Amino acid sequence: MLDLIAALQQPLFTVLGTPVSWTEVLGFGSGALCVWLVARQHIANWPIVIANNLFFILLFTQAGLFADAGLQVVFIALAAYGWWTWTHGPRVADKVPVRRTTRTEWALLITAGVLGTAVITVLLDTATESTVPFWDALTTALSLMATYGQCRKRLESWWLWIAADLVYIPLYAYKGLFLTALLYLGFLALCVRGLIAWRRDVVESPVMVAA
C-alpha cells in the first residue's frame, strides 16, 4: 500500500515548471466526473465522490493544506449520508426532489460556517504548518455547508460551491497546484450549469419547493 501511495505521488509531467502527480491527475478526472453527475442528479456521483476524496487526501497532505486534507474524511462520511438520502429519502417522480433552503437551515448553516471558519483558522495557525490558515479554513467551512446542501438536495448548495470555488482557484494556484486550480475553474462552470438545472426542477415542479 505504501508503495502504491508513493507511486501515485510521483511526478507525471510538469505544468509551468511545477510537477503534476498521478494523484492530481486522478483527482482532476474523478472530480470533474462527480460534478457532472451531481448536476444530473445521478446517484453514481456518490461512489465517485468517495474515490475523489481519497485522491485529494494524498494530494492536500503533500501540499500542506491540512484542513483540506482532513475535510476529505468528513466528505467521505457526508457522501455516505448523501448516498443513503438520495436512495431512501422522500421521493417525487421516483427521485428525491430539489428543494429550497429554509430560513432555519440558512441560520444554522451561516452560524456553523462562521464559527467553523474561526475555530479552524485558530487550529491551523497554532497546530499546523499551514501558510494560509484563514483561506484554508474558509474553504473548509464553505465546502461543508455546500456538501450538506447537496446531500439534502437544496438548490442553494450550488451558490455555496460557487463561492468556495472562487476562493479555491487562486488558493491552489498560489500553492502551485495548477492542474487542481484548472479543475476548480471547470468545477465553477459545472456548478453554474448545475444551479441552472436544479433551478429548472424547482420551477417546473412547485410541489418540490419547501415551505
pLDDT at residue 183, as a whole number: 77
Helix (H, G, I), strand (E, B) or coil at 15: strand
As a whole number of Å, the end-to-end CA separation of the chain is: 50
Digitized pLDDT (tens) for each residue of the chain, 211 residues in all: 655 555 555 665 565 566 666 777 787 788 888 888 888 888 888 899 898 888 888 877 777 777 678 778 888 998 898 888 888 766 655 677 888 999 999 999 999 999 999 998 998 888 877 788 899 899 989 989 998 998 888 999 999 999 999 999 999 888 887 777 887 888 898 899 889 989 988 754 444 444 3
pLDDT at residue 187, as a whole number: 84
Cβ contact 21:12 at 8 Å: yes
- Per-residue 3-state assignment (H helix, E strand, C coil) for the chain: CHHHHHHHCCEEEEECCEEEEHHHHHHHHHHHHHHHHHHCCCCCHHHHHHHHHHHHHHHHHHHCCHHHHHHHHHHHHHHHHHHHHHHHCCCECCECCCECCCHHHHHHHHHHHHHHHHHHHHHHHHHCCCCCHHHHHHHHHHHHHHHHHHHCCECCHHHHHHHHHHHHHHHHHHCCCHHHHHHHHHHHHHHHHHHHHHHHHHHHCHHHCCC
Check residue 90 and report its DSSP letter: -
**Domains of the chain: which residue ranges?**
20-201
pLDDT at residue 74, as a whole number: 85
Helix (H, G, I), strand (E, B) or coil at 103: helix
Spatial neighbors of 178 by CB under 8 A, at least 6 apart, are 15, 16, 18, 20, 172
Q: Is 63 left (phi over 0), alpha (psi -120 to 50) or beta?
A: alpha
Whole-model pTM?
Answer: 0.73
pLDDT at residue 91, as a whole number: 60
- Per-residue 3-state assignment (H helix, E strand, C coil) for 150-177: HHCCECCHHHHHHHHHHHHHHHHHHCCC
